[in-house]
Amino acid sequence: MSIHTVLIIALIAFLSIIGFIKWMNRPVRQRITNLNELERFLKNLIGEFTDGSVLIVEDRKTKRFIQFAKKARFILHFGFPDAPWSRKYFKRVEDAFKKKNIQFTINPTGEKIVTKFLDIEIIKIDKGVELAKTAFSAMDIPASGHFQAYYKGELTENALRGIKRNGKDK
């Protein structure tokens, strides 16, 4: 076997390992068949994840999404971006919230691609479900659609201890 063949095999093996590691670290996406199920995901975000962690809820068919971030112990932050994919829906989402007298702020990002966010602070979980239904409806996606949800962020120490404890009990 020549040195070139060995190097090519080593490179393929290395790239395969890197690809596998990336695949293993991808967020686990969970299906949601109705936005009423979102309540448990928001509770998990508050109870199991650290501040700054994000829950992304995406329509599986259109890939349109909304996001919630954990801001503090019991405070969530709803965000809807003015990005290329969402630009035609941004005003519609804004108008839908105005129609329901939902208070929000529009915050510029200073970036060129995502120019601003429609932001709402949430203390009650059911308010988060209402915001999701309103935003998706403004994007012509029914609450009984086909969604997926996934988290980006770190688990709390208590959540990690619970996982370790459950693993030992088996």
- At 79 the pLDDT is 92
- At 31 the pLDDT is 72
- Which CATH number among 3.30.1460, 3.30.70, 3.20.20, 2.60.40 corresponds to the domain 29-153? 3.30.1460
Q: Scan for tokens 């329901």, then name that residue.
A: 100
In percent, how much of the chain has pLDDT > 70?
Answer: 79
What backbone phi and psi angles, to 5 degrees, belong to 16?
-65, -40
In percent, how much of the chain has pLDDT > 90?
Answer: 46
Q: State how far the Cα of 127 lies from the Cα of 119, in Å rounded to an integer.
A: 13
First to last CA, the chain: 48
pLDDT digits (tens, 9 = 90+) for 56-109: 999 989 999 999 999 877 789 999 999 999 999 999 999 999 999 999 999 999
Q: State how far the Cα of 66 lies from the Cα of 128, in Å rounded to an integer.
A: 11
- At 170 the pLDDT is 39
Mean pLDDT of 116-145: 91
Q: Scan for tokens 């370790």, then name that residue.
A: 164
Domain ranges of the chain: 29-153
pLDDT band of residue 34 (cuts 50, 70, 90) is: confident
pTM for the complete prediction?
A: 0.74
Mean pLDDT of 39-49: 88
